[in-house]
Structure 1
Amino acid sequence: MSSPSALVVGAGAVGMSLGYHLGLAGADITFLVRAGRTDAFAAPRQLYDYNDNTLKTFDGYEVVEDTAPLDGRTFAFVVITLDGHTSRTAQGAATLRAIGDLVHDTDAVVLMDGIGVDLRRHYLDALRIPGDRLLLGFLGMLAHQADANLPVPPGADAAAIAAADVCYVHPPTKVGFTVVRSDQAAAKSFALLYDRSGVSRVSFLPAKPADVLSNAVFAVYAACDVAGWPPIADVIADKPLWTLACRAQAEIMALPRNGLLGKVAALFMRPRVTAAIHRKQEKDMRPLDTAAFNRFHHGGKVRRQGMDVLRDSVTEGQRQGRPMTALRTLLTRAESLPAADQTPPE
């Protein structure tokens, strides 16, 4: 039996760590990268695992710069690691259309890693595939480029990190990837492959809770940005800022598109509950410094994705007669800040 093939669009930290674990699961991996970047991502690559302080060698994969060499090939899965903002740029949209040309007459399941208001519709329009073949999926581990200048955690191997290309950490549950189960059969088929890695596994999230939560979390990231990306305990300790963030979060959750579940979530996700969730994530991702990671990632690398979500949520709410007072106030404060890092996505 031949190995299943997976096309990963983007070979940054997300794409490389995902591709590595799919490779462990027995998949044949091909990366599609920007023009001129083939040599930069040529095999082998070194990945540092914070959980066991070891370097992992990832090789045996292919790197291409456009879809032409892939014509006629069949992929079981395509994972697109473009963030929500990049997906809507001219280059991002062109990439999506090229992927659509490649797979729309096949049975390939596509997983989108970006977040954005109505981003799924944008993907479906560009890819021209049925909705049951498009899933939202995102890393359950945290991964970053080794040259991101994050602090070396106590007990970590500084020399190994210096030799690595990408670093990653799993939570105690070993969830490496989360799939939104908008189509149960497609989600299960991806999990059956990924879980064969033996060291990382897929978790599932129902579609409606994913819709409610995925956009709202950016209110918390905006508050962290305003605070200067300290440990989450310091953000929570700033009562006026934390209250503002949680009110903004509730305004996003309670938008009519989210229905009754959104209203319930807005009532449930009060400051204390929200604080407990983010404290737990910070604890689960040790030894990685989650605040430093978020500063690099959400404060810089994909900051425009988060800002787009907040702006689009304000626009949607006001169009429906909602003042969105807390979100507008938080957004104004966040928009006045410079990005921590402007590294373009791969």
Structure 2
Amino acid sequence: MRGAGAGGMGRQLKSEPIALLGIGKIARDQHIPAIARSDAFHLTATVSRSGGVDGVENHTDIAALLAARPDIGVVSLCMPPVPRFDIAMAALAAGKHVMLEKPPGATVSEVHKLERLARAKGVTLFATWHSRHAAGVARARAHLRDARITHVQIDWREDVRRWHPGQDWIWQAGGLGVFDPGINALSIMTAVLPQPVHLTAATLAFPANRDTPIAADLVFAGAAGLRVDAAFDWRQEGPQSWTITVQTTDGELRLTDGGATLHIDGVLQTVAGIGEYPGLYHRFAELIEAGQSDVDTSPLAHVADAFLLGRRTTVAAFHD
């Protein structure tokens, strides 16, 4: 449920100490720089078994962090979704405000359980979708609010060896495979379309030696005959493509570069933003101040539907 109240009174944040858990590629590339730019938070501690951050105290697990630093009331979780649930439960049970890297969980049900615990403890839970903070997304949503949409084409094609080198967890059950980037497209789709859509067909291509798909073709249906076609592929070589094209009765809207660039009827639009991950931490601070949570599971539900409804095909084995 998007924007659900977390209970309790809001409070003004003034550079609150925050702990970052899971110091991998996404933490180093995005979270640490975003926190460094934030006026609301300063990085005070990390939890990592493979190395922390220079100049910041590090702990081996969530229990050690909670015992050593009861003064830290805010945590951001960056580890893969399968091990994240128990850590999030421990943090919420201890009364911490929790931010979840996308996808918010390995299953929809566990995210709902986290949401219930956050509500019971009166703390903020923020299930993030970083692509919704891409520069062109808010403008696209506003433009489409009253539009008559006839067709949407999503093309999300990238080279897994370039973007996820050596990340075996992503090929294991619960790792999502090509839906790890594809869910970013679904998070934009669910943000900009004025009416919901539902999955009607899917084909999932699994490498012979992997538990998660390397490609997926999806079809969604909406009101008044709306159709959405989505193609996700991790085998793209050369130029990478993260594009959403929306046809309306009044013209065409196109988001490219993962939502960063917006064209309307072929004309480049001027859009601005503070950046995807800085935008997440700004939103997290707003939610804590307001005493609210933001837990929208709709992109994850679409992925779950794809695994439920999808026709499985086997393709060539993948070797990193």
Q: Larger % of helix: which? A: 1
TM-score (norm 1): 0.40
**Higher RCO, 1 vs 2 (CA within 8 Å, ≥6 residues apart):** 2
TM-score (norm 2): 0.42
Q: Larger % of strand: which? A: 2
